[in-house]
């Protein structure tokens, strides 16, 4: 795949569960893509060295802790976790209308089981590479559907409904 000035971004602690490694391993096959990693953690030096070893360090930006919401409009969000409790960052990305790719893990399948969701094997960087094209093809109707169902106001409404049912 080749795309000029295309941005990928991911958010989460730099640890084994968040699996940023698979995205970095995919980059050599994604000419023209830049990866922004938002997060801090014990694997930062390892991930930096991996990007150097793979010859993509000039296309990987370690942004540190995310402290604003402007990120949601910067490209394709990749949720690469191999294990997840709920997936708050994925919900925020979809709720803000970002194009996205989700690791094919149980919680993501339960939360985002819609025809327009794009899943990839989190242990296979080539599957991620192949699915980038599907994420790029998400149309405005798909993104509007996700924005409607995963926005903060949608979550508040769903929580209120659940609380009312319990009364």
Is the confidence at residue 72, as pLDDT, over 80? no
Question: Quick one: pLDDT at residue 115?
Answer: 67
pLDDT digits (tens, 9 = 90+) for 126-160: 999 999 988 888 778 877 877 777 777 777 787 78
Least confident span in 11-20, 36-45, 79-88, 131-140: 131-140
Strands (E), the chain: 2-11, 31-38, 60-64, 76-79, 99-103, 119-120
- pLDDT, mean over the chain: 86
**What is the b/e burial string over 11-22, where b = at least 16 CB atoms within 10 angstroms of the residue's CB?**
bbebeeebbbbb
């Amino acid at each position: 795949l080749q795309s000029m000035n295309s941005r990928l971004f991911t958010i989460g602690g730099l640890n084994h569960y968040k699996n940023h490694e698979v995205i970095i391993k995919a980059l050599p096959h994604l000419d023209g893509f830049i990866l922004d990693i938002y997060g801090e953690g014990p694997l930062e030096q390892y991930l930096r060295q991996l990007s150097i070893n793979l010859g993509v360090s000039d296309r990987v930006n370690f942004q540190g802790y995310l402290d604003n919401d402007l990120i949601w409009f910067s490209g394709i969000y990749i949720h690469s976790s191999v294990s997840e409790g709920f997936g708050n960052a994925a919900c925020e990305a979809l709720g803000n209308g970002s194009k996205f790719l989700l690791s094919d893990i149980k919680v993501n399948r339960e939360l985002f089981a819609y025809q327009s969701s794009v899943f990839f094997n989190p242990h296979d960087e080539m599957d991620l590479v192949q699915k980038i094209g599907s994420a790029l093809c998400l149309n405005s109707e798909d993104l509007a559907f996700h924005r409607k169902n995963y926005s903060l106001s949608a979550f508040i409404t769903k929580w209120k409904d659940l609380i009312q049912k319990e009364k």
